[in-house]
Structures are given as C-alpha cells and as structure tokens.
Amino acid sequence: MAGLEPIIQKIQLRPISLPLVRPFTTAMHTVTAADAVQVDVLLTNGTVGHGAGTPNAVVTGDTMSTLQENLQTQVIPALIGRDIRDWNSLLTLLHASTSEQPAIAAVELALYDLRAKQVSIPLTALLGGQQRTVTTDMTIGIQALPDMVSEAKAFVSRGFKALKIKIGGGRLADDLERVKTIAKAAGPDIRLRLDANQAWTTDQAKVAVTELAALQLPIDFIEQPVAARNHEGLATLTAMRQLPIMADESVFGFQDALALLSRHAVNHINIKLMKTGGLAEAAKIDAACASFGVTTMVGCMIESNLSLVPAIAFAAVHDNVTFTDLDAVYMVKKQQAGIQTHGPQLTIGDPMHDA
C-alpha cells in the first residue's frame, strides 16, 4: 500500500474505562475511572493514527455517550475522504465540525500521530523539539485530612517535589488546615500548588488568598479560585500581588487566553488538550502567553496514555511551559504503555508510534 495516497478511509471508535487506584474528588465532582473514547484513523495507504478524547461533564460539558455520538454524526462524516497532506484545511474542517473540544482533540491527536508517521519522525520532532521527559507534580484530591496527609508523605517518598492540593467546596478554615498540615508533613522543600476549581466568589477568594499568603508557605500559585467567566475577579486577585493566580477553566481557546492576557488578569494559564481541542490551539495559547510574559502549565483531565503522551510531548518542547500537571498517569490501577515513569519524571519514547 506504500504507493497509495494518504486519504482518510475509515475512523473507528472504541470506549475505554480504566479504574482509578482511588476515587479522585475536587470541589466540583468525584471521578472513579479514566474514561475515554479511543479514535483510530485509517488511511488508504494502511497507516493508522491513534488518539483519544476524555469527556468531563463539569468542565467540557460532555459525557461518554455524547462524545461518541458527536464523533459519529458530526466529526467523522466531515473528514472521510480527505487527504491529510492538505493539513491546514483538514484542521479547519475538524475544528468547524463540532464545538465539543474533547471530540476535536481525539481526532486531532490521531491526525498528528499520522502526520509524524508519514514522515517517520517522533511527535516531539514534529512539534519542534527533541526533549522527551518532563517532571510532573502529584495531585491530592479532597478527602479526610489524615488520608490527604498520608498521600502527601507517600508522594514525597517517591521523589515528587511539588504537590497540588485540591481545596474549596467547604469552609475556608478547613482549607487552611489542609494546606498547613500537608505542608508540615511534606517538608519545607516541597512546592505547593493549590486548586480551588471555581469554588469561591471574588470576596471569598480575596479573603482566602490573603490568609493563604499569610501562612508564608512555598506556594507556586492558586488555580482558578473563582468562576470561569469571572475575569474581573481573576484580575482583582492578580492585582493583589499576594499569590500568583492561574486560570484553568477560564481558558479553552486562544480568544479566551487573549481576553485574560490583554487585561493582565492572571500570572499563569493551564493548558489542557481536552479544553483546547488538541495541539494546534494549545500552541497558539502558549505563544500568546509567552508574548505577554505569562508562563503556562500543561495539565490534564483523568485521561488515558493515548492523550497523555502528546500532552507530555507538548510540555517537553515548549520553553514557556513552566509547570507540568500530568499525574493521571499514576492514578489508574493498571499501568499503560507509552510512558515510562521514574518518580515524578515522565518519559515518552517514540510518541504514539508503538500504539
């Protein structure tokens, strides 16, 4: 089949559900498995590209059933018969086919896999770099404080140098106690990252930021302290200059990022491929952030390795990415192929080519 044109012949879907080691709870919801839809794109020359999309009802507004339906009825019909060498037009068609970002991401990641395979280079090289290792933090979900402390100690013993602590959804006094107790258990050399997942109003967040800053702990940032659309609140908290503020749910695409950057509303932005719809939009967001002097973090939902591998590749080759939060690799009971782990280090081989 080597002489055939690289035309999209078939796109197949397969649901995935990977049970977690333990339930993972945030201020918004609890997750018990890494659910995803695997997408396999087959070309007429026999090459197959793999990707995956992970739904999240409270962030991206979709479920496994709506994601699969969207792919079947809107995305796949728009792409069958298209030549992947017409790359820009193909991505334009894909992004115009639906507004559901995980569906776009699932297919776009498979297309990037195909493109790398067509020219026989790793995905990292296709993205413009050679580095294949990143260092991630580890997230501690909301649970009983003794369990959170136990997890913190275990993660530190495994070599993690940064812990992300989920807060919000209850009393501020409880959040302060969580942060203080975990910080003491982890030790003074461990960086802390706090994620409120939109839990507070602006006034509540102002009090929380002030009291958290007063603890004088090694806190890198507070992530999404207010509602996603509350840009004014983010700007107010950033202007306080007490703790760095990171946007997560506020930023899905380039225009979202630009709206915050233009008013200097945040110090950092969390890029997730399931929010951006894949690598192309993620690159635009990161470039915009760099131009404003705002650094980025590459994060994830509770995902499978099919989408975590390209997220690692993206984080590894973009210099403006300062933080990495790709700890879903460790959250599933059964280790998956494609990513090697050594403490907090995540290494990809020849990205997605062994899939």
Given 166, 184, 284, 333, the catalytic residue: 166
Work out how many domains the chain is built from and give that number.
Answer: 2
Range of the domain at 219: 125-348
Given 117, 164, 206, 272, the catalytic residue: 272
What pLDDT was estimated at residue 27?
77
355 located within any domain: no
Q: Domain ends where: 68, 102, 121?
A: 121
What pLDDT was estimated at residue 45?
95
21 located within any domain: yes
Q: Domain ends where: 81, 98, 121?
A: 121
Query: Is residue 195 annotated as involved in ligand binding?
Result: yes
Do 93 and 189 share a domain, yes or no? no
What pLDDT was estimated at residue 1?
47
Answer yes or no: 166 catalytic.
Answer: yes
What pLDDT was estimated at residue 3?
56
What pLDDT was estimated at residue 350?
58
Q: Domain ends where: 121, 150, 168?
A: 121
Query: Is residue 223 annotated as involved in ligand binding?
Result: yes
Radius of gyration of the chain (CA): 20
Query: Is residue 174 annotated as involved in ligand binding?
Result: no
pTM to 2 decimal places:
0.95
Do 115 and 223 share a domain, yes or no? no
Do 77 and 89 share a domain, yes or no? yes
What pLDDT was estimated at residue 106?
99
Answer yes or no: 275 catalytic.
Answer: no
311 located within any domain: yes
85 located within any domain: yes
Do 148 and 295 share a domain, yes or no? yes
What pLDDT was estimated at residue 200?
97
Do 90 and 146 share a domain, yes or no? no
Do 116 and 160 share a domain, yes or no? no
1 located within any domain: no
**Residue 249 belongs to domain with CATH number:** 3.20.20.120
Do 227 and 302 share a domain, yes or no? yes
Pick the closest to residue 22 from 150, 176, 137 (CA basis): 150
Do 58 and 170 share a domain, yes or no? no
One pLDDT digit (tens) per residue for the chain, 355 residues: 455 889 999 999 999 999 999 999 887 889 999 999 999 999 999 999 999 999 999 898 999 999 999 999 999 999 999 999 999 999 999 999 999 999 999 999 999 999 999 999 999 999 999 999 999 999 999 999 999 999 999 999 999 999 999 999 789 999 999 999 999 999 999 999 999 999 999 999 999 999 999 999 999 999 999 999 999 999 999 999 999 999 999 999 999 999 999 999 999 999 999 999 999 999 999 999 999 999 999 999 999 999 999 999 999 999 999 999 999 999 999 989 999 999 999 999 854 444 4
**Residue 92 belongs to domain with CATH number:** 3.30.390.10
